[in-house]
Amino acid sequence: MRRSAPHAATLVAVPKDRSPWSPHASVCINRTASISPAFSARADFNINILGRAQKHLADRCNGPVKGEARFGEGAWIDDDVPWLSDAQAVVCCRHDGEFHYGTHGVFVGRVLSVRVHGEVDPLIYADGLYGSTILGRPQ
């Protein structure tokens, strides 16, 4: 897959076999986004879930930086499909289907592996703002 990095893609679990733990994930990408053709090429893809300390990387993908230049910062590993070695988590997927709805393409991937890094402290983007949430552990 050509290296691209959307700013915010929606990630959801897809219960392909009606099981709540089905190993599939989907991302929704605006069809006008520069990364959309790469997903339409049915290539494998990785979903890099950023930690709160990585807001600057999210800003690179949200701002004027495009294409390969988005990979100018960060600890990227350039395997067949690039992934961020210090991401909160990385979900590695094989393209398994797609459909279009309105302005977006919905791309479904079979989860091949999941990498988790560090303490849980995800970066959340909602309603144009960044935030984070940490749920307390039961005592």
Domains of the chain: 10-131 (2.30.110.10)
Taking the whole predicted model, whether its pTM rises above 0.85 is answered as no
Q: Which residues contact 7 (CB under 8 A, 6 or more apart)?
A: 58, 61, 62, 125
pLDDT tens per residue, the chain (139 residues)?
445 555 555 555 555 565 656 688 888 888 988 888 888 888 899 999 999 889 999 888 877 778 788 888 889 998 888 899 999 999 999 999 999 999 999 999 999 999 998 888 889 888 888 888 766 555 4
For 45, the enclosing helix (H) or strand (E) is strand 45-49
In sequence order, the β-bridge partners of residue 101 are 104
